[in-house]
Chain A
C-alpha cells in the first residue's frame, strides 16, 4: 500500500471512535503492541530528547525500502509512533520524502504533533525524513 492509502485506512479506523477516550485507549493499545526497537539501537545517538518523553528511532535499508523501528518511554507517545511507523516504514525513500502528516489532524491528535509539545515526535518525523534523504542519496 502507498503511504496515502495507509493514512486513509487509519483515518477510517479512527472514525469509528466517538470521543477522545476511545481514541486514547486505542493509541495506548497500539503503544503496547509496537514491536520494540532492537536494544542495540537504543543508543544515545538514536535518542531524540523531547523535554517530556524520550523517543528512539532507527532506520535501515531493505532493498529499495526503508524500515523503521522506534520506541518511547511514554505510552501515548509510543502509540503515536506506532501510527507513524505504520505509514512510513517499508516505503521507498522518495515516497517518504514526499509524504506529509496531515492525517494526524484528521484523527484528532493534532496537539501531539505540535512543535511546542516537547514529546520528541516532531523531531522524530524530521529524523525519519533524514533517513529517507540519506538512503535516497545513496541509491
Chain B
C-alpha cells in the first residue's frame, strides 16, 4: 500500500493554486511533476560539481563525469541492459528515434519496408517517413481495431523478407493501450527485422527489461518519469549501435580528427556528440532511484485502481464516450462528450484548476480513425487521488452543462 499523502508531500507543485483553485494535475502523459529530491539534485549539481565531462583533468570535471557515468549505470540496471555503453543519453524520445531512423538510411534500399503501428505518436511516424523518402523504402501501417488495439493477425500478414524495421510504442500516448511488444519483437526477428520500441509512455508505469524483451532499440524521455526535461535514453543492442553510423558529428564522438579523416569514438560516445545535458543525465538517475524506492509494482497497482475508478465515474456522465478500451491499458482515459468539442471542455475545466490534455495528442492518424477532431485525455500518476478524480468529474459535468 502506498502512502499517497506522504508521496504528495514530495511534490511541491501539487499544492499550487491555478486560477484560484487547487491544482488537479491529470496531464501526466505529457510530462510528470518533479519530486523535491529531483529539484534539489539539479541545484546541488550546479552548486557543487558543475564542470564539463569526459574532458578535463581537474577534480570537478572528474566528479561530474563520475556522477554522469554512475547515472548511466543506474539506467542500465533499471532497464537491464547488458552493458552500460548500450545506454545512450539523448535529449529525449524524439532524438532517440531520429538517431536510429537516420542510421538506417545507410542500410535500407528501395523496396524495403518499415512497419509502423497505427497507434504511434507523430515522433514515431515522421522520422520513418523521412527515412522512406530518402531511401525509397515503403512505410507500411499495422492497423488498429475500434478498441484501440493493434490487429495482430494483420501484423503477421504484413511481415515479410522486405520488412527491415518494425517500430511500435510500448504504450499508446493517446489511448493508453499496452501493446503486445514481446510477440511483435519475436515475430519480427523471425524475418530478420530490427525492432524499435518507443517506451515514452511505458516507463512511467513499468520497468522494461530490454534483454528479456530482446528489442533492438528502446527509447524514452526523462521528463515523463519525474526527471528533468531535455534528457532521454536510447538503448540499443551493441551490435546495432556498432553497425549504425553516428547521428550527429562534433566533439566527444570522435577518436581522432584530421581534415582527411575522422575516426569515431567507441560506444556510447559515438552517439553523444557535443556537451550533453549533464545535470539532466545525472538527475535522471536520482528520479529513477526515487521511483524504484516507491516500487513499480506498487505504482502499477495503485494506478490501475485510479484507472478503474476514473473510468467508472466518468461513464456516469450521459453522452460520454471513452476512446481506447483495450483489455490491457494504463492509467489514461481519452474521451469525448457527444456534441461538445474537446477544446471547449478543456478550456472550462482549466478555469476550475484542472490540467488535462485536449486535442489530437500528436497522433492524428488515431483521431482520423475515429473521425474525431481530438479527445480530452486525463492521464493519472501515482501521486493522484480518487478525490481529485471526483473534483475532475464534477468539473466535466459543469462544463458539459455550460456547453450544451
- Please say whether chains A and B are actual partners in one complex: yes
> A residues within 8 Å of B by Cβ?
20-21, 24-25, 28, 51-54, 73-77, 118-119
A52–B351 touching, CB < 8 Å? no
Query: Would you mind naming 17 contact pairs between A and B with Cβ atoms under 8 Å apart?
Result: A20-B19, A20-B351, A21-B351, A24-B402, A28-B403, A51-B359, A52-B342, A52-B343, A52-B346, A52-B358, A53-B341, A53-B373, A74-B344, A75-B340, A75-B403, A118-B359, A119-B343
> B residues within 8 Å of A by Cβ?
19, 340-344, 346-348, 351, 358-360, 373-374, 402-403
Q: Which of B19, B341, B360 contacts A74 (CB 8 A)?
A: B341
Inter-chain contacts of B360 with A (CB < 8 A): 51
Inter-chain contacts of A52 with B (CB < 8 A): 342-343, 346, 358-359, 374
B343–A53 touching, CB < 8 Å? yes
A76–B343 touching, CB < 8 Å? yes
List of 3 A-B pairs having minimum Cβ-Cβ separation, nearest first:
A74-B341, A74-B343, A52-B343
Q: Which of A21, A54, A73, A77 contacts B402 (CB 8 A)?
A: A21
Min CB–CB distance A83 → chain B (angstroms): 16
Give complex CA distance A24, B360 in Å.
Answer: 24
Give complex CA distance A24, B349 in Å.
Answer: 12
Min CB–CB distance B73 → chain A (angstroms): 39
Min CB–CB distance B203 → chain A (angstroms): 26
Please give me the residue from chain A that is nearest to B374 by CB atom. A52
Q: In this complex, which of B19, B341, B359 has the most chain A Cβ atoms within 10 angstroms of its Cβ?
A: B341
Inter-chain contacts of B343 with A (CB < 8 A): 52-53, 74, 76-77, 119
Contact status of A24 and B348, CB under 8 A, knowing A73-B341, A75-B341: yes
Give complex CA distance A76, B402 in Å.
Answer: 11
Give complex CA distance A77, B344 in Å.
Answer: 8
B374–A28 touching, CB < 8 Å? no
Give complex CA distance A73, B341 in Å.
Answer: 7
Q: In this complex, which of A25, A53, A73, A74 has the most chain B Cβ atoms within 10 angstroms of its Cβ?
A: A74
Inter-chain contacts of B359 with A (CB < 8 A): 51-52, 118
Inter-chain contacts of A20 with B (CB < 8 A): 19, 351
Min CB–CB distance B351 → chain A (angstroms): 5
Q: Which of B19, B346, B351, B373 contacts A73 (CB 8 A)?
A: B373
